[in-house]
Amino acid sequence: MKTFYGKVYDIVKQIPFGKVTSYGHIALLIGKPNAARAVGYALKAIPLELKDEIPWHRVINSKGEISIKNKPGADILQKKNLEEEGIVFENGSKVDLNKFGWFPN
């Protein structure tokens, strides 16, 4: 895919089971290190038909926390999905990126 959204989706699909990455890193892989914000915009815009094909829940912010706002339930769902993959939340909200982070070049 050559559109910005398409590139974001392609990369998210590559995130391995049980791992997570950040919006900023995805932007980096696309070649636009400062487009983290746009990446988040793209994820919230994932077409329903692709919801089950794209592991959007494996994308969190650089601090290792879920960053969804104004979407009641979505943040809780994301956390639940991640825990099902074996990812651990310290203090109930933070992920240790040194253990579960996926940051390829």
Give contact residues for DNA (rule: CB under 7 A): 3-5, 22-25, 32, 34-46, 56, 59, 61-63, 67-71, 74-75, 78
**Strand-pair partners of 83:** none
Q: Classify the C-alpha dihedral 16-104-67-8 as positive or negative.
A: negative
Q: Cα–Cα distance between 31 and 91 in angstroms, integer?
A: 34
As measured in angstroms, the least distance from the Cβ of 97 to DNA is 10
Q: Which is nearer to DNA, 19 or 78 (CB)?
A: 78
As measured in angstroms, the least distance from the Cβ of 77 to DNA is 8
Q: Cα–Cα distance between 66 and 64 in angstroms, integer?
A: 7
Q: Which is nearer to DNA, 74 or 85 (CB)?
A: 74
